[in-house]
Amino acid sequence: MSLTSNLPVSLNVQLGRLSLKNPILVASGTFGYAREMSAFVDYAQLGGIIPKTVTREPRAGNPPPRTVETTAGLLNSIGLDNDGIEVFITKHLEALSLLPTALIVNIAGKSTEDFVVMARRLDEFNPIQALELNISCPNVSGGVDYGTNPTMTAEVVAAVRQATSKPIIAKLTPNVTSVVEIARAAANAGADALSLVNTFQGFAVDWKTGEPRLGNGLGGLSGPAIKPLALRIVWQVAQAVDCPIIGVGGIQSLDDVLEFLVCGATAVQVGTANFYNPSLSSQLTSGLEKVLQDRGCSRVQELIKTVKVPKNQRKTC
C-alpha cells in the first residue's frame, strides 16, 4: 500500500513578520547579485534571495588569495568586498526587485550608526522584504564584535529595529562560548529571526614555505565539514530561545534541509554548495514537497522541531 498522499502541500513558512513561499533561501556571499546564477537557477523555486553583503562605504576586501579548499569545506577571507550601499541601490536593486522571490538584503557595519543609516536608507524601498544583519563576519576588523557580545548584539538589533519597519534577521557567529546567550539577546531586542550560523574561524598553511594560504591569514570555514556543528547550534538555540531560526551550514542535499528543519529551523540557506552545484537551491523545493506528501504532511511546519531529545541527556565534556 502506498503511503504517498495526493493532498496539496503548503511550503509557506513564517519568520516573525516575514512570510516566505518556501523555506529554501540562498546565503549571502555565495550567490552574487543573482544575475550571475540566471543560467542555473529557477528563481521562482526559491523562498528568497540574499545578495552579497552591503556596507555603508565601498570596501576593497582582503588581499588575495581569498579562498582555499579544505577537506569537505571552503576557507574564505573575502573581507566584504563591495561597492557600498549607494552603488548597490543604483546598480543592483532594480534587477533584484524584479525576481519572483523574496529579497532580503544583508548589511554590515563597523558601528551601530552604520547599521542604522543603512537600515533607514533601505527602508525606502518596498521590494526589500527584510534585512539580515551581518554581525558575525570573521574576516574584517570589527566585523564580529557585535556578534560576540550579547550587550552589543542587543544594542545594534534594537537600534535597527527603531530605524526600519522591515523584518530583521540577525546572522550570528558560532565563534563564541555560548551562541544561545547571543541568540537570546538578539531575540529580546526585536529580531524577527536568527540566521545560524556564519562561518567558523579557521587557518590554512603551506608547510613547505611556512606561508599562510590566505592573504589575510585567518578565514571562515564553510561547507559540509561544519554541518554537524551548525545542526548542534540550531538544536540548542531552538530549545532555549523563542525565535524563528534559519539554519545555515553545509547544506548540499534534501536530507540536509530536513535535518535542519527537524532540529528546529523554520528555513534554511544554501551557501557553499552554490559554488559547485549552482542549480541545487532551486531543485530542493520540489523534493521537499514530495517528502511532505510521502509522509502525509500538509504543511512544512509539521516537520519543524520534531527531533527527539535523547533520554538521560548529559552535557558533553
Report how far residue 27's alpha carbon sits from residue 136's, in angstroms, rounded to the nearest whole number: 14
Is 78 annotated as a binding-site member?
yes
Is 53 annotated as a binding-site member?
yes
Report how far residue 185's alpha carbon sits from residue 163's, in angstroms, rounded to the nearest whole number: 18
Is 79 annotated as a binding-site member?
yes
Work out whether the CA dihedral 212, 215, 218, 221 comes out positive or negative: negative
Tell me the three cell numbers of residue 124. 525606502
Is 11 annotated as a binding-site member?
no
Catalytic residues: 137
Is 52 annotated as a binding-site member?
yes
Is 271 annotated as a binding-site member?
yes
Q: Could you write out the DSSP letters of every residue in 128-167?
A: EEEEEEE---TTSTTTTHHHH-HHHHHHHHHHHHHH-SS-
Q: Can you name the residues that pair with 15 across neighbouring β-strands?
A: 18
Is 47 annotated as a binding-site member?
no
Is 21 annotated as a binding-site member?
no
Residue (of 101, 298, 260) closest to 269 by Cα position? 260
Tell me the three cell numbers of residue 287. 523534493
Is 202 annotated as a binding-site member?
no
Look at strands 13-15 and 18-20 and give their pairing. antiparallel
Is 10 annotated as a binding-site member?
no
Is 285 annotated as a binding-site member?
no
Residue (of 138, 129, 77, 73) closest to 106 by Cα position? 129
Residues within the annotated binding site for FMN?
28, 52-53, 106, 134, 171, 197, 223, 249-250, 271-272
Residues within the annotated binding site?
28, 52-53, 76-80, 106, 134, 171, 197-199, 223, 249-250, 271-272
Residues within the annotated binding site for substrate?
52, 76-80, 134, 198-199
